[in-house]
Amino acid sequence: MKIKYIDLFCGIGGFRFAADVTFTQHGTEPLCVFSSDIDEHARKAYYANFGELPFGDITKINPFDIPDHDILFAGFPCQPFSIIGNGNGFHDTRGTLFFNIVNILKAKQPIGFVLENVKRLVSHRQGQTLKTIIQELNKLGYEVDYKVLNALDYGLPQKRERVFIVGFKSNHAIEWPKKIKERLALSDILEKDVPLNYYASEYIKSKRKLAHETKHYPSIWHENKAGNVSSYPYSCALRAGASHNYLLVNGERRLTPREMLRLQGFPESFKIVVPDAQVRKQAGNAVPVNLVRSVLESCMPVLKKILSKQNKESYGLTGRYGRKEIASFANCRQS
């Protein structure tokens, strides 16, 4: 059984890595039939890792021209709802990109979707933004549920909270994934030999260490917008537009590109083909692969049930055409 999906606002492929592994492990054949991202560096990285160059600006394609698919994935732009951004929501041009998702769902009618965004979307404008999103999806015939999940609870040493919005054209609710007790340690993530150019200046290092003492080693030190410094045996959320020294390993050096990708759950086989600054941006915008895999595991029982039913109907076992009709069609073709 094949599962066809599309990967919108695909970035460097967090959804795709998760989907391909999860679907394959469940005995289904994953088939990405369309991907899209407006960022040229993200498209370059995606091409290097999947052999497919994503379409560019999603607003420039007719939804009916997108291939048919079973499920839609979209980590739609989060800046309009982010606590770091301006918080304008649907008043921000990027916020309206959600309605491009709606138009695609309306045109192609997949059986389901998984959307991802920042935690703040849940409380944005006292919950009215999320309410609008769910209402629009309900109008298309989808049963919708959402939940905020933290990458720390699903095997990664990064505190990264994201809301997932899941919908299916059925009345079957998914059971959201249970938290995982164990996770990778920072020592599993950090590289041993790091070039000197990743180290902060002596001024920055001494300033941080005068302001803070840590109980953890190794640790990642975090300086917030107010200048307060804290440290944990895990990372605070990677951010695409953060200051150069926002996160420092042991208060001394910046994370390497490979370390940032590991914090997001990307495999060691991921090919880095863009400059460090672009990797930092890409990792900061990415969805944690482990989180998506956990959500998809929860979706699989419903997804397989719907697809199995559709397959039976297409072969006339329970649908409009029975066995006699199919035999009749075959005889007509032979004659």
Structure tokens at 327: 């035999």
Q: How far apart are CA 98 and CA 75, in angstroms?
A: 10
In the set 10, 78, 236, 299, the catalytic residue is 78
Q: Find all residues with CB under 8 Å of 317, minimum gap 6, and list them.
A: 323
Q: Are 299 and 145 in contact (CB under 8 A)?
A: no
Q: What is the dihedral of CA 156, 161, 167, 168, to 10 degrees?
A: 20
CB atoms under 10 Å from CB of 20, counted, come to 18
Measure the CA–CA gap between 123 and 104, rounded to whole angstroms: 26
Q: Residue 143's beta-bridge partner residues?
A: 168
Relative orientation angle of helices 40-50 and 276-285, to the nearest 10 degrees: 90
CB 129 within 8 A of CB 80: no
The rounded distance, in Å, linking the Cα atoms of 276 and 209 is: 26
Active site residue 78: yes
Residue type, 42: A
Q: Would you state the structure tokens that stand for residue 77, as one six-digit string?
A: 């732009």
Catalytic residues: 78
